[in-house]
Amino acid sequence: AAGVIQSPRHLIKEKRETATLKCYPIPRHDTVYWYQQGPGQDPQFLISFYEKMQSDKGSIPDRFSAQQFSDYHSELNMSSLELGDSALYFCASSLAGLYEQYFGPGTRLTVT
Amino acid sequence: AQTVTQSQPEMSVQEAETVTLSCTYDTSENNYYLFWYKQPPSRQMILVIRQEAYKQQNATENRFSVNFQKAAKSFSLKISDSQLGDTAMYFCAFMGTSGTYKYIFGTGTRLKVLA
């Protein structure tokens, strides 16, 4: 069965640079969630989209923005990167009305 | 606001033994979902088991079962016949149904299965 795809899997950036993370949900899933997991921490909700509209927002810095496109894939744009942005970024998808989220493998972002 | 608490940062268990991981949560909602996720060294988030709050019966999945106590807001995970491959970080997660369906995770329990 198709799973959630995230790209790239690993990304190394310098401080003040910009990064774009991509998420391709499971086919027919219309809802995407982004989570950030810092070293030794639990995943923290950043933002979610349903049918290309933002549905909820968590502790996402103003330097970050995201959107969901017409094909339901989503991109998380991160600007003015800081050392503290180094983390594992998960994307998860679900079908509206169903409670279970399916997680992608994550993108490991390292800011040097 | 909902919170999820895992009070055991680390646990260990001998292979083939049984271990129970604790999770408590706080919510004012009546209908919600609870999950246990496993995160091995690969960092992939793997669903272990889920429980719907309106269901009285505790969920079971092979060697994994839960003890769901709604009144006490407790949701523990029991792993029977522990295997070396069970070594991982385990996260308890809550999902409410009154707003959007984001997950709220606990801080995790690192489980080590000893040979």
Tens digit of each residue's pLDDT (9 = 90 or more) over A65-100: 999 999 999 999 999 999 999 999 999 999 876 778
- Across the interface, which of A90, A94, A108 has its CB nearest the CB of B45? A90
pLDDT computed for residue B98 by the predictor: 82
pLDDT in tens, B26-37: 999 989 999 999
* Mutation to test the A interface, candidates B35, B48, B103, B109, most A Cβ within 10 Å: B103
Does the pLDDT at position B92 exceed 90?
A: yes
**Does residue A43 belong to the interface with chain B, where contact is any CB pair within 8 Å?**
yes
Phi-psi region of A52 (alpha: psi -120 to 50; beta: other; left: phi over 0): left
Q: What is the pLDDT of residue B15?
A: 98
State the best of B102, B107, B110 to mutate against chain A, taking most chain A CBs within 10 Å.
Answer: B102
Partner-chain contact A88 B43, CB within 8 Å? yes
d(CA B14, CA A24) in angstroms, rounded, equals 40
**C-alpha torsion B32→B33→B34→B39, nearest 10:** -130
Helices (H) and strands (E) in chain B, counts: 0, 12
Task: Output A98 or A21, whichever has higher pLDDT.
Answer: A21
**Interatomic CA distance for residues A59 and A44, integer angstroms:** 8
Contact A49/B at CB under 8 A: no
A chain contacts of residue B106, beta-carbon cutoff 8 Å: 42
Q: Is A36 on the interface with B (CB under 8 A)?
A: no
Q: List the structure tokens of A24.
A: 């391709």
Q: Is A101 an 8 Å CB contact of chain B?
A: yes
The confidence score (pLDDT) of residue B90 equals 98
Query: Is the CB of residue B3 less than 8 Å from the CB of residue A42?
Result: no
Res. A21: pLDDT tops 90: yes
Quickly tell me which residue has 């800011």 as its tokens: A111
Can you read off the two tokens belonging to residue A6?
């995230």
Q: Find the mean pLDDT for residues B50-61.
A: 92
Q: How many CB pairs under 8 A join A and B?
A: 54
Q: d(Cα A95, Cα B26) in Å, to the nearest integer?
A: 26
Q: What is the pLDDT of residue A44?
A: 96
Report pLDDT for A79.
97
Percent of chain B at pLDDT > 90 equals: 89
Give which of A104, A89, A99 is closest to A11, Cα–Cα: A89
DSSP notation for B52-81: ETT--SPPEETTEEEEEETTTTEEEEEE-S
Tokens of A110: 């390292």
Average pLDDT over residues B42-54: 93
pLDDT at A14 over 90: yes
Cβ contact A45–B104 (<8 Å) = yes
Yes or no, beta carbons of A43 and B91 under 8 Å apart = yes
Question: What is the reported pLDDT for B87?
Answer: 97
pLDDT of A13 > 90? The answer is yes
User: A37 and A28 in contact (C-beta within 8 Å)?
Assistant: no
- Could you give the percent of chain A with pLDDT greater than 90? 91
- Interchain CB distance below 8 Å, A99 and B101: yes
Q: Are A19 and A112 in contact (CB under 8 A)?
A: no
What gap in Å lies between CA A23 and CA A6, rounded to an integer? Answer: 5
Report phi then psi at B112, rounded to 5.
Answer: -120, 125
pLDDT at A112: 96
Closest CA in chain B for residue A54 = B100
Q: Which pLDDT band holds residue B56 (cuts at 50, 70, 90)?
A: confident
Reported as a single tens digit per residue, the pLDDT across A30-44 is: 999 999 999 999 999
